[in-house]
Amino acid sequence: MCGIFAYLNYNVGRERRYILEVLLNGLRRLEYRGYDSSGIAIDSDTSSVMQSKSKPYDTAPPVVFRQEGKIESLVSSVYTEVDQLNLDLEKPFLVHAGIAHTRWATHGVPAPRNSHPQSSGEFDEFLVVHNGIITNYEVLKQTLVRHGFTFESDTDTEVIPKLAKFVFDKARDGEGGVTFSQVVMEVMRQLEGAYALIFKSPHYPNELIACKRGSTLLLGVNELGGETSRHLFHDVKALTANDKPKELFFSSDLCAIVEHTKNYAAIEDDEIVHIKDGSVSILKFNYEKEKPASVQRALSVLEMEVEQIKKGDFDHFMKKEIHEQPDSLTTSMRGRLKDGVVGLGGLKDHMRTIRRSRRIIFIGCGTSYHAALAARPIMEELTDIPVTMEIASDMLDRKALIFKEDTAVFVSQSGETADTLLALEYALQHGALCVGVTNTVGSTLARKTHCGVHINAGCEIGVASTKAYTCQIVVMVMMALAIGSDKMSTLAQREAIIAGLTKLPEKVHDVLKLDGEMKALAQSLIDEQSLLMFGRGNNYATALEGALKVKEVALMHSEGMLAGEMKHGPLALVDEYLPIIVIATRDDSFSKQQSVIQQLHARKGRLIVMCSEGDASLVCPDGRSRVIEVPRVVDCLQPIINIIPMQLLAYHLTVLRGYNVDQPRNLAKSVTTQ
Ligand code: F6R
Distance from the alpha carbon of residue 465 to the mean position of ligand 1, in angstroms: 6
Catalytic site includes residue 636: no
The verdict on the CB of residue 25 being under 6 Å from ligand 1 is: no
First-to-last C-alpha distance (Å) of the chain: 10
* Burial of 399 per CB tally in 10 Å (0-12, 13-18, 19+): exposed
The verdict on the CB of residue 240 being under 6 Å from ligand 1 is: no
Q: pLDDT tens, 269-310?
A: 999 999 999 899 999 988 777 788 888 888 888 877 777 788
d(CA 13, CA 6): 17
d(CA 234, CA 9): 20
Q: What percent of the chain has pLDDT over 70?
A: 95
The verdict on the CB of residue 466 being under 6 Å from ligand 1 is: no
Question: If you take atom 3 of ligand 1, which residue's CA is the nearest one?
Answer: 366
Distance from the alpha carbon of residue 135 to the mean position of ligand 1, in angstroms: 23
The verdict on the CB of residue 363 being under 6 Å from ligand 1 is: no
- Asked whether the predicted pLDDT for residue 229 surpasses 60, the reply is no
d(CA 583, CA 661): 25
The verdict on the CB of residue 412 being under 6 Å from ligand 1 is: yes
Around Cβ 667, how many Cβ atoms within 10 Å?
17
pLDDT value at residue 673: 67
pTM of the full structure: 0.84
Distance from the alpha carbon of residue 415 to the mean position of ligand 1, in angstroms: 10
Mean pLDDT of 554-563: 96
The verdict on the CB of residue 464 being under 6 Å from ligand 1 is: yes
- The answer to whether the bond into 61 is cis (omega within 30° of 0) is no
- Asked whether the predicted pLDDT for residue 564 surpasses 50, the reply is yes
Question: If you take atom 16 of ligand 1, which residue's CA is the nearest one?
Answer: 412
pLDDT value at residue 239: 53
Mean pLDDT of 157-161: 97
- Asked whether the predicted pLDDT for residue 235 surpasses 50, the reply is no
Mean pLDDT of 325-339: 94
Distance from the alpha carbon of residue 585 to the mean position of ligand 1, in angstroms: 26
Q: pLDDT tens, 516-555?
A: 999 999 999 999 999 999 999 999 999 999 999 999 999 9
Type and span of the H or E element at 534: strand 530-535
- Asked whether the predicted pLDDT for residue 331 surpasses 90, the reply is yes
**Cβ distance 653 to 522 under 8 Å?**
yes
Q: What is the DSSP string of 22-77?
A: HHHHHHHHHGGG--SEEEEEEE--TTTSSTTS--SSSSPPEEEEEEESSHHHHHHH
Residue 329's pLDDT band (cuts 50, 70, 90): very high
Least confident segment among 15-29, 216-230, 360-374 = 216-230
pLDDT value at residue 455: 96
Residue 234's pLDDT band (cuts 50, 70, 90): very low
Q: Among candidates 528, 543, 628, which has minimal Cα distance to 578?
A: 528
User: What average pLDDT does the chain have?
Assistant: 92
**Which of the 8 DSSP states describes residue 459?**
-
d(CA 597, CA 152): 59
